[in-house]
Amino acid sequence: MDEVTNHGGDVLKFAGDAVFAEWRIHTDDCENVKEEQDEIYKCLLEGATCGADVVSKCSDYPVFTNEGIQISTLNVHCGIAFGQMAGVHVGNDYNRREFVILGETIDQVTKACDAATYGELMASPEAYEILQRGIPQSQVDSFSKGDEEKVDRSKPILIASRNETLFEKKWSKNRRRDSLSAKKNEFVVPYDTMDLTSLKYLQKLLSFYAHPVVVSEEMNRQTTQRRRSTIPDAILERHRSEAELRSVYTLFIQTKVDADLSDDSESNHKVFKLLNDILNLVTSVLDTYRGHLRQFILDDKGMLLLLFAYSLISPKTLFNHVET
């Protein structure tokens, strides 16, 4: 998290043991094609610098007990890609909402990350084509996994490892400050003049993006502060047990739909509506069985919904409902 934000990026999604981060390119103020290309290169270079720093600092990371005994070693591998993406808010205003990212770039970066071994940063061919403008050819020829291996530019390409990088790392503090300032102004929600009803409605809208157990725990905390003595111990215990996610079933639903973006806005809107319908259908069925949607993810393997269910339900029954 710190490495991403320190390099001017945003963390978009936690997908299992993976993190999706974004560096958004601002070309609105560019006066010509050259300025636009320079802006793209600088932004991609900062993302690559972040990836190189992550594999350098976090590879072979030792884990110790309180007594100082090493019990494990954590590792990391990264991928970087370039292209257009879309962020879509799907769901409804009474059950659940999700922010879903989609686009061909997701496929690129996942393949690049899968191609990297521990302690490596790989770039998709699309990203490498831009980064190579600042890399001497002699350095490209010498930087490879093996002395005889040459760069295949049709596949993900190694650009950094634990202790060396193919490119010259660069990070502009001024750019980071400008980037964060722009984002701060873009997402400011004025609330000083809101009354209590408006604030509660805003809280409700934000709660649709959080896991129901987290929401219930927060509401329970607020209620406890107001009237602790009126809440039965049984209810408090139930909230505590659900927050710890004990005795749950984890289910995966992989939908067989094409969620790729195109140049046709009407076609893209149909995809967005389909994603919205899928989320609403799944959450509606889950609610019947006291289940919760944990995450809605799109990657190179397709569209995946990760579910938690608290009661004894039949996975086959749930899948039958979803398929109809």
Q: What CATH code is carried by the domain that includes residue 263?
A: 3.30.70.1230
Domain that holds residue 259: 247-324
Asked which of 78-82, 101-105, 172-176 is least confident by mean pLDDT, the reply is: 172-176
Residue 14 lies in a domain: yes
CB 248 within 8 A of CB 310: yes
Q: How far apart are CA 176 and CA 159, in angstroms?
A: 23
Residue 276 lies in a domain: yes
pLDDT at residue number 49: 92
What is the distance, to the nearest Å, from the Cα of residue 158 to the centroid of all Cα atoms in its chain? 22
Q: Of 186, 217, 234, which closes a domain?
A: 186
Are both 85 and 159 inside the same structural domain?
yes
Closest CA to 293 of 302, 301, 304: 304
Q: Of 186, 206, 228, which closes a domain?
A: 186
High-pLDDT (> 70) share of the chain, %: 70
Residue 195 lies in a domain: no
CB 322 within 8 A of CB 281: yes
Question: Across all residues in the chain, what is the average pLDDT?
Answer: 77
Is 78's pLDDT higher than 90? yes
Are both 21 and 153 inside the same structural domain?
yes
Q: How far apart are CA 138 and CA 230, in angstroms?
A: 74
CB 63 within 8 A of CB 71: yes
Number of structural domains (the chain) is 2
Residues listed for the chain: 324
Q: How far apart are CA 163 and CA 56, in angstroms?
A: 6
Residues 22-48, mean pLDDT to the nearest whole number: 87
87 or 316, which is more confident? 87
Q: How far apart are CA 70 and CA 64, in angstroms?
A: 4
Are both 162 and 254 inside the same structural domain?
no
Q: How far apart are CA 278 and CA 271, in angstroms?
A: 11
244 or 189, which is more confident? 189
Are both 64 and 146 inside the same structural domain?
yes
231: left (phi over 0), alpha (psi -120 to 50) or beta: beta
Are both 12 and 159 inside the same structural domain?
yes
Are both 255 and 175 inside the same structural domain?
no
Are both 14 and 134 inside the same structural domain?
yes
Q: Of 186, 217, 235, which closes a domain?
A: 186
Is 226's pLDDT higher than 90? no
Are both 253 and 161 inside the same structural domain?
no
